[in-house]
Structure 1
Amino acid sequence: MRWRTILLQYCILLVTCLLTALQAVPIDIDKTKVQNTHPVESAKIGPPDTGLYYDEYLKQVIEVLETDQHFREKLQKADVEEIKSGRLSKELDLVSHHVRTKLDELKRQEVGRLRMLIKAKLDSFQDKGMDHQSLLKQFDHLNHLNPDKFESTDLDMLIKAATSDLEDYDKTRHEEFKKYEMMKEHERREYLKTLNEEKRKEEESKFEEMKKKHENHPKVNHPGSKDQLKEVWEETDGLDPDDFDPKTFFKLHDVNSDGFLDEQELEALFTKELEKVYDPKNEEDDMVEMEEERLRMREHVMNEVDTNKDRLVTLEEFLKATEKKEFLEPDSWEMGSPSVAQAGAQWHDHSSLQP
């Protein structure tokens, strides 16, 4: 369904990261769960975990709503603004009694889970005097004042919470990556301090040699260019490059056949380019940096192709992009996210303040 795609499109099985923790009350609950960082081939894409702490509840609500024919039809016709604004939530009043009953049960289970979570946190601090009901206010994905009934307010809150949390996903991932790079550089320099001068020079020499070796790689095609897509067409799809057809390419890589290329489907297209630089079998190649580069490639293509900025690429948008000069004659693409350089600069700024 389109709503499922819109709400879940931001989530990718890539870099381990945490989104901002809730700060309204003194209960430390992360908005995401840790995720693994594995390259995703297009043929292996499955329903992703959003990483949100209410991920299972979100998915279950969507699945139940999709069983109602009326609501399903409304979802198919709804645009992004209707979903985000909450207008679509009003349609909940028209779903069948059977669906409402299931939604009520899901909400009761979710409220019960949150109460258990709060109790466990309070018990760990041995604080028995706090009011569990008031602490439920920190969870903004449901209406805690009516714990037994799933109403249009609940659907509106769930959509807005998920949209808000997930829209900052890329920004958070970039920030987490910069912190990762800073820590990696810090640990390397701390290690060098433990060595004598001879060993330290030897390690520095190895480090510079590794950097040069990493920079010596085959040409990386500009993400989203004709050359890049033709390479996928030939090497991944096993088709004759002379028969390259953008419309056929789009349909081949619209893995879930929903009529869009979402962010996860786009990122899968860059695996061949990334493998020119990063080898998962080589311990010297940092897979976290590879996934940051994949994210950078996807953001670039989205900025160029996604004209209505709904974070989905339609066939029409895709075909229009293939008519541009940038598609046929792109600028060169430099590997190495700016985040890496920024992280290094920040590390130097931070270290210069140390006594």
Structure 2
Amino acid sequence: LEMTPSIKLFLISAFLLISCTHSVPVSKEEKKAESERLPDNVLPDVSYRQYLSEVISAMESDKEFANRLRSMNDSDEMANQLEFASHSVRNRLDEIKRQEVERLNELEKALEDKLALKANPGKASRAKFRFGLQSLDEATIKRAHLDHSNPHTFEIADLQKLINQVTQDIDQVDQAREAEYKRYEMGKEHSRRARLRRIKDKKAREAAEQQMRAERERHRRHERVHQPGSREQLKEAWEKGDRMDRDSFDPKAFFMLHDINGDGHMDVNEIEALFWKELDKVYSKENDTTVDRVERQHEMERMRRAVLMRLDKNKDRMVSWEEFNAWISSQEANKDEEWKTAEESDEDKPFNEEELRQFEEQYNREHPDEGIDNSQQTGP
């Protein structure tokens, strides 16, 4: 399993994928001020989030240890470096783990209460008063983020298990976000067709449908979008985003400018910031009455995935200077095929008609009072 080459980055750079919103790129000063804590949007729903945050903070407090980890490219190598951490850091990690074990033990007691209450609903139990008890299950307690066989000290096995668990959760959250986007798009299409079905007059319905098509066409009339990561796209980001002279484009200076925290890598947020101006071409009030922020965010993620697929050779979900330089020096970087959004692409549609039919059936079961007649399907 390959991960990233620094303490915080190997644990959280990929976590930023789960952020539901992205802000305008921050300055170096703002980013450094936030570097001492786990961002609020990083794995907000996992039960071990506080434990993860404290482990990161403890390890980062040892600068020599941090520098040693920066030279590691493999998570097994990183975990094995734990023996070089200072005595104070090891003691702190031991204490953090003991607190986490206590928390898990408390949860286990709560689960026992919950099961007892379920077996005997009429019996009074403290279980009903415990916070979050309704969602408590054995999987919540038996997380694989630490070594349960050793409850006293934080060892190499604990760091390796934490890395592995985080990686697994990242993948699951990323998949959940894609599924949520699909539901969002199906909901939009369902509403569009439902509005048309409610118009009983044929001419009025045709006029409304024509207006919807016109709005969609207006949205698609925009300036050409460059291929993410191509030399032309990067030069345009240099010119319009960084406000530099286009002819003075310098790959090294560009990379350093966008490596906001100066760690030698562009993480997912820093990569997505490269597309800000590119996305303004598609999502702006000039060609839309309203700007769909959800679709814009999804498109930014598609662009980021496309760039990582080509540049990220060691699959750590970041781009190092070496990877960036190898890419920008290649002939592939000169290719600039026009980028199609998910809405415009025939190959990346979020759903098909069968999926939409199933969505509508479920929606109508959950909202029977709306009385929508699906017998007259109105196509796209």
Matches within 5 A, 1:249-264: 249-264=254-269
Deviation at 1:245, TM superposition (A): 0.6
Deviation at 1:212, TM superposition (A): 0.8
2: CA distance, partners of 1:210 / 1:340: 21
Higher mean displacement: 47-56 or 263-272: 47-56
Structure 2 residue 229 is the aligned partner of structure 1 residue 224: yes
Structure 2 residue 185 is the aligned partner of structure 1 residue 181: yes
Q: Which amino acid aligns with 1:243?
A: S
Task: From 48, 52, 65, give the equivalent of 1:71.
Answer: 65
Structure 2 residue 214 is the aligned partner of structure 1 residue 206: no
Aligned residue for 2:144, secondary structure, equals coil
1: CA distance, partners of 2:171 / 2:218: 37
Q: Which amino acid aligns with 2:271?
A: L
**Residue 58 (structure 1) aligns with:** 52
**Residue 335 (structure 1) aligns with:** 341
Matches within 5 A, 1:26-175: 35-41=19-25, 43=27, 48=39, 49-51=41-43, 53=46, 54-69=48-63, 71-79=65-73, 81=74, 83=75, 85=76, 87-114=77-104, 126-127=117-118, 137-175=141-179
Deviation at 1:134, TM superposition (A): 6.5
CA shift digits 1:2-33 (9 cap, x unpaired): 132122121337xxx6xxxxxxxxxxxxxxxx
1: CA distance, partners of 2:334 / 2:185: 35
CA shift digits 1:291-315 (9 cap, x unpaired): 1111111111112222333322122
Higher mean displacement: 195-204 or 295-304: 195-204
Structure 2 residue 282 is the aligned partner of structure 1 residue 277: yes
Deviation at 1:102, TM superposition (A): 1.6
Q: Which amino acid aligns with 2:92?
A: K
Q: Which amino acid aligns with 2:68?
A: K
Structure 2 residue 13 is the aligned partner of structure 1 residue 9: yes
Aligned residue for 2:291, secondary structure, equals coil
Deviation at 1:150, TM superposition (A): 2.5
Deviation at 1:261, TM superposition (A): 1.5
Scaled by the length of structure 1, the TM-score of the pair is 0.79
2: CA distance, partners of 1:135 / 1:325: 49
Deviation at 1:174, TM superposition (A): 2.6
Q: Which amino acid aligns with 2:25?
A: E
Deviation at 1:152, TM superposition (A): 2.7
User: Cα RMSD between the aligned structures?
Assistant: 3.4
Aligned residue for 1:178, secondary structure, equals helix
CA shift digits 1:181-216 (9 cap, x unpaired): 123222333344344335544442332122111101
Higher mean displacement: 88-97 or 267-276: 88-97
Deviation at 1:275, TM superposition (A): 0.9
CA shift digits 1:241-286 (9 cap, x unpaired): 1111111101100111111112221111001010111138966321
Q: Which amino acid aligns with 1:288?
A: V
Deviation at 1:92, TM superposition (A): 2.9
**Residue 28 (structure 1) aligns with:** none
Q: 1:194 to 1:118 in 2, by over 3 A?
A: farther
2: CA distance, partners of 1:163 / 1:109: 23
Identity over aligned residues, as a percent?
A: 36
How many equivalent residue pairs? 330
Deviation at 1:56, TM superposition (A): 3.1
Deviation at 1:136, TM superposition (A): 6.2
Is the CA contact 2:299–2:342 (under 8 Å) kept in the aligned structure 1?
yes
Structure 2 residue 308 is the aligned partner of structure 1 residue 302: yes
Scaled by the length of structure 2, the TM-score of the pair is 0.74
Is the CA contact 1:267–1:294 (under 8 Å) kept in the aligned structure 2?
yes
1: CA distance, partners of 2:139 / 2:322: 47
2: CA distance, partners of 1:205 / 1:119: 62
1: CA distance, partners of 2:140 / 2:311: 41
Structure 2 residue 252 is the aligned partner of structure 1 residue 238: no
Q: Which amino acid aligns with 2:254?
A: F
1: CA distance, partners of 2:139 / 2:219: 51
Aligned residue for 1:269, secondary structure, equals helix
Deviation at 1:217, TM superposition (A): 0.8
Q: Which amino acid aligns with 1:341?
A: K
Q: 1:347 to 1:136 in 2, by over 3 A?
A: closer
Aligned residue for 2:43, secondary structure, equals coil
Q: Which amino acid aligns with 1:256?
A: N
Aligned residue for 1:343, secondary structure, equals coil
Structure number, greater radius of gyration: 2
Is the CA contact 1:185–1:344 (under 8 Å) kept in the aligned structure 2?
no
Q: Which amino acid aligns with 1:186?
A: H
Higher mean displacement: 136-145 or 287-296: 136-145
CA shift digits 1:31-55 (9 cap, x unpaired): xxxx542344253666543225133
